């Protein structure tokens, strides 16, 4: 299997080079058969990379400890579930997943455009294949997943050997999310290469209208969706696995995934202005270049060892390769953009600061401000160590101080944006659309202060803005549904469903806005977290908020992969028994690494989160850590709503497709 995997890697390497050369040469000489042969080569690259993936997974499942990667990330007692997921647990395997995803995306783009967009496709294929080639080079020559273990003898000779058992998978990775979270996140990272490739092809060919944006709309939404979903899955994984009571710590690797999501969000909003008004053409090019660059930068930060993170790989020389690729890619992109600047002039200008164009622009600036602040905070320890020789740590207070107000401003624009008109909004229209939402926001603020007792200013503003945005969004749905029901005679539920399906992009966006509101409510709950740490013996109890936690007993038990001590805790709220929780302290056999397994009592409004830190030195008591986390489930519920809204927005729209086809035909005839 290892030989077959290496052979498939070599085939992919050779054909990726051919795909690049044939595509560019065919485009420059106008030879369509050569262009087609380059596309066919790229299709075979995808097949070859999938073969490599299958080969490595077979070796992992078989526990073939001749292979260094298998011995490093699995052991005989590791459940099959995690042996499969170990493919992306290490440096070489996760890069192989990168390579394979790029190759598959390239193949899908080729198949989608077999008989259309022939002017752009040679350069799209060349750019995608160049990116794929870079990752294949890393897998083949720098960090090969099929390298064998080698024994070194005293006389200097070497010979292959096999370990008796492997080191096993890091206990923190032995969680069901390990199978879902990394591939989801990688699809997000990798997917942005497709709109980037079309943007660069548009710059090369001079086809600088809306065509490349229209062609890549879904190719932009898909990675944005997967990246956001991956971030939420990662937060949920950290919440359930790391035992610290939280889900987001502004960790460098968390930040690395969040930054391209922010700029991708800005791009998705900004392209609407170019489609509608022919504006921000340069800005959109910059945004997609920045988004893909941040995806590569995030991979560099994760794999170079320059940042300290529970998510990062160990320090290695591979970071230099990524840095070099990033520099070349950015320089290539900016040179192309500079050469085409005269052809990217806007067709219109912003006529009023109270317009939808201005709202989108402010939205973009806030999103980029958040991305820049996160980038600065993430890189500052590296820069301070390089300049002063001392690594200055930047913690959550820095990120919160800047991004909380930026986030609240974005939440405000989420509500105001839909009621702004293109070109210029009238005062009468704004009063009609904003009066009720402002009243609802004011009433909500009063209730939060005088009834609930919330005094924290940011929390108060967040709840009020959530009410404001929700009211506007509900009004938008209600107006459209009422008009349709009146005109067609349909019932309100039917009219609402058909209205949404007829205007998927608009109303899918509104559902996303509602998801963002729910998400913000959940994030606001973090300000009211209560926590405590207690030493409890059998029969002893402690109080956190309205909850009473009583130690029933501590009990040891063993599994094939680990041994554990479990604390059985009886919980009650205001005297009402709620059952038992069972947090554990585990030690894994292969690594002898201790971990905690949390136990959570969850309701819609709060989580009681318990951790068994360790037994006391005499073994008679257990050290129990407890967090009471209000509204945390709103974070996961908001994320689910965002996913639903995104799926609605991505549903096929035949009428819109026909309009876009007519528009592109008009652009082609004018050209």
Give per-residue pLDDT as tens, 388-443.
Answer: 777 777 888 999 999 999 999 999 999 998 899 888 888 888 999 999 999 999 99
Instruction: Report the DSSP beta bridge partners of residue 554.
Output: 567
Contact 500, 551 (CB under 8 A): no
Instruction: Report the DSSP beta bridge partners of residue 566.
Output: 555, 584
Tell me what pLDDT residue 162 has: 80
- Say how far apart CA 7 and CA 576 lie, in whole Å: 65
Using a 10 angstrom Cβ sphere, with 0-12 exposed, 13-18 middle and 19 or more buried, the burial of residue 341 is exposed
Q: Decide: helix, strand or coil at residue 77.
A: coil
- How confident is the model over 275-315, as pLDDT tens digits? 888 888 999 999 999 999 999 988 888 776 666 555 545 55
Instruction: Name the least confident of 60-64, 189-193, 276-280, 653-657.
Output: 653-657
Contact 67, 159 (CB under 8 A): no
Tell me what pLDDT residue 5 has: 93
- Say how far apart CA 22 and CA 26 lie, in whole Å: 6
- Please give the angle made by the CA atoms of 367, 257 and 223, to the nearest 5 degrees: 85
H/E run at residue 571: strand 562-573
Task: Please tell me the pTM assigned to this model.
Answer: 0.92
Angle between helices 252-277 and 281-304 (to 10 degrees): 170
Is the pLDDT assigned to residue 8 strictly greater than 90? yes
Nearest alpha carbon to residue 100 among 90, 89, 92? 92
Q: Decide: helix, strand or coil at residue 630.
A: strand
Contact 49, 56 (CB under 8 A): no
- How confident is the model over 130-181, as pLDDT tens digits? 999 999 999 999 889 999 888 767 766 667 778 888 888 888 788 888 888 8
H/E run at residue 622: strand 622-630
- How confident is the model over 567-617, as pLDDT tens digits? 999 999 988 999 999 999 988 877 778 888 899 999 999 999 999 998 988
Tell me what pLDDT residue 91 has: 87
- Residue of 594 and 192 predicted with greater confidence: 192
Angstrom CA distances, 174 to 92, 179, 190, 489, stand at 19, 9, 25, 55
Tell me what pLDDT residue 369 has: 95
Angstrom CA distances, 211 to 100, 176, 626, 668, stand at 28, 41, 55, 9
Reading the block at residue 576, the tokens are 């009402």
Compute the average pLDDT of residues 70-93: 88
Contact 629, 525 (CB under 8 A): yes
- CA-CA-CA-CA torsion sign (499, 505, 511, 517): negative
CA 495 to chain centre: 34
- Calculate the average pLDDT of the chain: 89
Nearest alpha carbon to residue 112 among 15, 215, 223, 225? 215
Find all residues with CB under 8 Å of 566, minimum gap 6, and list them.
554, 555, 556, 557, 582, 583, 584, 585, 612
Work out the widest C-alpha separation in the chain, in whole angstroms.
Answer: 91
Angstrom CA distances, 105 to 32, 45, 118, stand at 22, 11, 18
The DSSP secondary-structure symbol of 148 reads B
| Beta carbons within 10 angstroms of residue 111's beta carbon | 11
DSSP symbols for 449-510: IIII----HHHHHHHHHHHHHHHHHHHHHHHHHHHHHHHH---HHHHHHHHHHHTHHHHHHH
Contact 464, 448 (CB under 8 A): yes
Reading the block at residue 339, the tokens are 């050469």
Tell me what pLDDT residue 670 has: 54
CA 200 to chain centre: 23
Is the pLDDT assigned to residue 183 strictly greater than 70? yes
Return the percentage of the chain with pLDDT > 90, whole number.
61
Reading the block at residue 125, the tokens are 């294929």
- How confident is the model over 39-55, as pLDDT tens digits? 999 999 999 999 999 99
Contact 299, 259 (CB under 8 A): no
Residue in the block written with tokens 């006391």 = 616
Question: 146-153 — which CB contacts under 8 Å span 24+ positions?
Answer: 146/2, 146/5, 146/6, 146/9, 146/55, 146/56, 146/59, 146/67, 146/69, 147/67, 147/68, 147/69, 147/92, 148/2, 148/66, 148/67, 148/68, 149/65, 149/66, 149/67, 149/68, 149/71
- Residue of 632 and 380 predicted with greater confidence: 632
């Amino acid at each position: 299997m290892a030989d077959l995997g290496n052979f498939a890697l070599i085939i992919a390497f050779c054909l990726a080079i051919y795909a690049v050369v044939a595509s560019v040469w065919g485009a420059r000489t106008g030879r369509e058969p050569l262009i087609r042969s380059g596309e066919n080569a790229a299709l075979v690259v995808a097949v070859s990379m999938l073969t490599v993936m299958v080969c490595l997974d077979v070796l992992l499942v078989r526990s073939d400890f001749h292979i260094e990667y298998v011995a490093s990330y699995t052991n005989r007692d590791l459940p099959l579930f995690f042996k499969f997921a170990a493919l992306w647990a290490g440096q070489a395997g996760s890069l192989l997943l990168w390579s394979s995803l790029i190759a598959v995306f390239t193949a899908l783009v080729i198949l989608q455009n077999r008989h259309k967009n022939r002017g752009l496709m040679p350069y799209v294929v060349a750019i995608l294949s160049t990116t794929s080639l870079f990752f294949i080079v890393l897998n083949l020559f720098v960090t090969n997943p099929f390298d064998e273990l080698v024994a070194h003898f005293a006389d200097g000779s070497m010979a292959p050997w096999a370990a008796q058992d492997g080191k096993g998978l890091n206990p923190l990775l032995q969680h069901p999310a390990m199978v879902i979270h990394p591939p989801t996140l990688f699809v997000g990272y990798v997917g942005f290469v497709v709109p980037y490739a079309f943007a660069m092809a548009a710059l090369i060919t001079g086809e600088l209208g809306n065509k490349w944006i229209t062609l890549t709309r879904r190719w932009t939404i898909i990675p944005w969706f997967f990246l956001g979903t991956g971030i939420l899955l990662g937060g949920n994984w950290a919440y359930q696995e790391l035992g610290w009571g939280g889900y987001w710590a502004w960790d460098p690797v968390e930040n690395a995934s969040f930054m391209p999501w922010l700029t991708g969000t800005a791009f998705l909003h900004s392209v609407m202005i170019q489609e509608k008004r022919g504006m921000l053409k340069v800005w959109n090019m910059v945004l997609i270049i920045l988004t893909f660059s941040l995806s590569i930068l995030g991979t560099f930060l994760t794999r170079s060892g320059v940042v300290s993170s529970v998510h990062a790989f160990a320090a290695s020389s591979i970071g230099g390769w990524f840095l070099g690729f990033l520099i070349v890619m950015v320089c290539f992109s900016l040179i192309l953009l500079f050469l085409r600047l005269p052809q990217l002039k806007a067709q219109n200008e912003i006529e009023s600061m109270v317009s939808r164009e201005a709202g989108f622009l402010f939205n973009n600036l806030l999103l980029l401000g958040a991305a820049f602040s996160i980038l600065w905070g993430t890189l500052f320890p590296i820069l301070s160590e390089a300049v002063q020789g001392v690594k200055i740590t930047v913690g959550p207070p820095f990120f919160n101080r800047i991004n909380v107000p930026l986030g609240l401003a974005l939440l405000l624009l989420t509500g105001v944006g839909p009621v702004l008109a293109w070109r210029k909004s009238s005062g009468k229209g704004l009063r009609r659309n904003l009066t009720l939402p402002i009243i609802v926001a004011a009433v909500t603020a009063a209730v939060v202060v005088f009834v609930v007792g919330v005094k924290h200013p940011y929390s108060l503003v967040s709840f009020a803005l959530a009410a404001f945005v929700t009211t506007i969004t509900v009004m938008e749905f209600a107006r459209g549904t009422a008009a349709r029901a009146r005109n067609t005679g349909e019932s309100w539920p039917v009219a609402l469903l058909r209205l949404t399906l007829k205007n998927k992009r608009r109303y899918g966006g509104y559902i996303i806005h509602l998801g963002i509101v729910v998400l913000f409510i959940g994030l606001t709950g973090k300000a009211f977290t209560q926590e405590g740490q207690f030493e409890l013996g059998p029969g002893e109890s402690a109080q956190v908020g309205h909850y009473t936690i009583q130690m029933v007993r501590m009990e040891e038990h063993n599994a094939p992969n680990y041994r554990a001590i479990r604390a059985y805790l009886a919980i009650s709220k205001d005297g009402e028994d709620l059952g038992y929780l069972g947090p554990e302290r585990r030690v894994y056999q292969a690594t002898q690494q201790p971990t905690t397994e949390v136990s959570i009592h969850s309701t819609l409004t709060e989580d009681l989160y318990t951790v068994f830190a360790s037994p006391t030195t005499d073994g008679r008591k257990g050290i129990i850590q407890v967090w009471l986390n209000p509204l945390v489930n709103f974070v996961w519920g908001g994320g689910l709503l965002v996913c639903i809204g995104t799926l609605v927005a991505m549903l096929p729209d035949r009428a819109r497709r026909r309009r876009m086809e007519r528009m592109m035909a008009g652009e082609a005839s004018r050209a």
